[in-house]
Amino acid sequence: MSTIIPLKPLGKEDVRKLELALIFGTLFRKDVIEKIKDAHDRLTWLDSLVVAAGALARERAGYTVTRIADELGRSESTIRNHLQVKTEAGKLVKETYEAIVRNKGVFEITPTEELAELGLVQSGRIKELENRVKELEEYKQELEAKLKEYENHLMALNQKLSMVKEKLAKVLEEL
């Protein structure tokens, strides 16, 4: 599923979109999934990622550190540490942001087996959806081939129509 993410949020809705893309984009990275599996205190670690994502999204919208800290309920020093990439969470979220920037704001989530192992998605459902996507891609190719065929047929009919019009015009001239 692809979505265009505002890289420079202009309002609360844009901030929320960027924040969610940073959260999900970071959480669904294979290296981060491995860290979550091995993390001693998962909740603290995940909370740190969420705060770092919120801080970066708000910074891109032009919020001050004080405002970000107030909105996220964290200290200004915590927010600065995330934004200055002094924390692991800040580093990971910044990398995710840079990946979204390189992709010109296009954000895509692809379910993986690692997510299934964590119980975040159903493994069978992933396979089912992958198969459905494959079927739809094949169907799309069939439709594109038919469309091309119809376009060629239409072009041939237009040529015949032009020839008939020319002959009709000559007959009308002769009359």
Number of Cβ within a 10 Å radius of residue 156: 10
* Cα 170 from chain centre: 60
pLDDT of 27 reads 85
Rounded Cα–Cα distance for residues 175 and 156 (Å): 29
Instruction: Identify the pLDDT of residue 39.
Output: 63
Rounded mean pLDDT, 143-172? 94
Q: For residue range 87-125, what is the model confidence (pLDDT) as tens digits?
A: 999 999 999 888 888 877 666 665 555 555 555 555 566
Residue 160's pLDDT band, with cuts at 50, 70 and 90, is very high
Global pTM? 0.59
pLDDT in tens, 32-84: 877 777 767 777 878 899 999 999 999 999 999 999 999 999 999 999 999 99
Q: What is the largest CA-CA distance in the chain?
A: 96
Compute the distance between CA of residue 36 and CA of residue 57 in angstroms, rounded to an integer.
22
Q: What value does the mean pLDDT take over residues 125-140?
A: 81
Q: What pLDDT score does 95 carry?
A: 92
Whether 33 and 120 have beta carbons less than 8 Å apart is answered as no
Average predicted confidence (pLDDT) for the chain: 84
Round to whole Å and give the CA distance between 164 and 144.
30
Helix (H, G, I), strand (E, B) or coil at 4: strand
Q: Which of 48, 1, 59, 2 is nearest to 26 (CA)?
A: 48
Q: Is the pLDDT of residue 2 over 70?
A: no
Compute the C-alpha angle 88/92/97, nearest 5°: 145
